[in-house]
């Protein structure tokens, strides 16, 4: 089937067309980062309004780039959960309306299923083989899944508070860095930050707990900055060299937690392949650490190309295509859901 996918769960409006063999015919993403940057985080109401403006032009562009008119689309998929409800509703309602008007089959896709299947979109690397371990690390999610096949996902661990990207973004804000903080912190680290300058804690360090926690780390940074005599909201005044060291040390604690839990999970399950996806997969220390650790332990690490790691609609079209080809159809009464465990599907 040729499937049109639509994604609007957070701050990216995206549409994509995936062809009969799962190949990407187009993938258009319109980011709202510059709209939210002045606020230092995603404003849900603003996100929904921007999706309303973008969803039609982005979809038309995806069809155009795929050189596939709507008549040649065999099915339509849209993210229905999890995410910001107002944002989800825009893409989902538009997709349902389009499917109804054009008489096409429709299916709702869980955003995290899209992320877990994203390595299959990148044809430049051999795809992982089931079963594999999936680590999703983004601004909204930090979770470990055993992926045994399409639609077969077992949650092994997840964050009990902030997502890894969220922790980095909050730290960036505290240090007066531009949004998104994760990107700025990675840059500051590469510009010579000393990752051993400060000793930040790792949440749940023990082996028998595959969950993550980043709130203690955030609090530790707040206290460290306070001790330096820096008032709240004045992080920008911290000298650049100290700020670089704070960034490098904070990032190191986040990355070490991610790597530690991923490899504990690999040990526990005996899985030999690790897929890492989500925006934080762009982080250079995470990549370096994964390569080093996997080399030592004979694990294959698959990180999809960055454009497929971050939010996109190709992964939604791909997951939707599999479900549609298995005969799944969702009614037009399907609603947007802000929180929904993937295993409950």
Give the span between the Cα atoms of 141 and 148, in whole angstroms. Answer: 20
Give the span between the Cα atoms of 301 and 294, in whole angstroms. Answer: 7
Is 43 one of the binding residues for ligand KG4 (CB under 6 A)?
no
Nearest distance in Å: CB 169, ligand KG4: 5
Report the relative pairing of strands 24-31 and 132-137 from DSSP bridges: unpaired
Q: Is the peptide bond before 186 cis (omega within 30 degrees of 0)?
A: no
Nearer to Zn ion, 273 or 311 (CB): 311
Stretch that binds ligand KG4, among 177-185, 197-205, 213-221, 317-325 (CB under 6 A): 177-185
Q: Are 78 and 6 in contact (CB under 8 A)?
A: yes
Taking CB under 6 A as the criterion, the residue among 7, 186, 252, 330 binding ligand KG4 is 186
Nearer to ligand KG4, 169 or 330 (CB): 169
156 token code pair? 């092994």
Place of tokens 């709202």: 32
Taking CB under 6 A as the criterion, the residue among 183, 262, 274, 275 binding ligand KG4 is 183
Residues 310-329 that bind Zn ion (CB under 5 A): 311
Place of tokens 């990180």: 303
Nearer to ligand KG4, 97 or 178 (CB): 178
- Smallest CA-to-CA distance from 248 within 171, 196, 175, 179 is with 196
> How many residues belong to the site for ligand KG4 (CB under 6 A)?
19
Give the span between the Cα atoms of 282 and 93, in whole angstroms. Answer: 31
Stretch that binds ligand KG4, among 220-228, 256-264, 280-288, 328-336 (CB under 6 A): 280-288
Taking CB under 6 A as the criterion, the residue among 4, 6, 10, 247 binding ligand KG4 is 10
CB neighbour list of residue 139: distance below 8 Å, 6 or more residues apart: 10, 42, 163, 165, 166, 169, 180, 182, 279, 280
Residues 125-154 that bind Zn ion (CB under 5 A): 138
In the complex, the residues that contact ligand KG4 under the rule CB under 6 A are 10, 138-140, 165, 168-169, 180-183, 186, 278-280, 282-283, 310-311
């Amino acid at each position: 089937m040729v499937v049109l996918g639509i994604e609007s769960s957070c701050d990216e409006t995206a549409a994509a067309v995936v062809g009969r063999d799962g190949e990407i015919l187009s993938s258009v993403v319109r980011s709202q980062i510059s709209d939210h940057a002045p606020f230092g985080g995603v404003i849900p109401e603003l996100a929904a309004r921007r999706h309303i403006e973008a969803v039609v032009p982005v979809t038309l562009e995806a069809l155009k780039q795929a050189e596939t008119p709507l008549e040649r689309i065999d099915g339509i998929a849209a993210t229905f959960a999890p995410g910001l409800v107002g944002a989800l509703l825009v893409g989902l309602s538009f997709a349902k309306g389009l499917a109804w008007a054009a008489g096409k089959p429709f299916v709702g896709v869980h955003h995290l299923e899209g992320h877990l299947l994203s390595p299959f979109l990148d044809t430049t690397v051999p795809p992982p083989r089931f079963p594999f371990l999936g680590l999703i690390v983004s601004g909204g999610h930090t979770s470990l899944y055993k992926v045994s096949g399409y639609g077969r996902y077992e949650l092994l661990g997840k964050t009990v508070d902030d997502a890894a990207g969220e922790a980095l973004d909050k730290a960036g804000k505290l240090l007066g860095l531009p949004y998104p903080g994760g990107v700025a912190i990675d840059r500051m680290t590469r510009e010579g930050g000393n990752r051993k300058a400060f000793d930040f804690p790792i949440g749940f360090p023990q082996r028998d707990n595959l969950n993550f926690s980043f709130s203690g780390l955030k609090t530790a940074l707040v206290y460290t900055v306070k001790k330096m005599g820096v008032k709240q909201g004045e992080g920008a005044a911290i000298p650049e060299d100290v700020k670089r060291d704070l960034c490098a040390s904070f990032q190191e604690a986040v990355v070490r937690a991610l790597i530690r839990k991923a490899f504990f999970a690999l040990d526990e399950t005996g899985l030999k392949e690790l897929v890492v996806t989500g925006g934080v997969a762009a982080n250079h220390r995470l990549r370096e650490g994964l390569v080093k650790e996997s080399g030592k332990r004979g694990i294959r690490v698959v990180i999809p190309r960055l454009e497929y790691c971050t939010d996109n609609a190709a992964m939604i079209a791909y997951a939707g295509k599999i479900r549609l080809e298995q005969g799944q159809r969702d009614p037009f009464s399907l609603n947007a859901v802000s929180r929904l465990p993937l295993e409950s599907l």
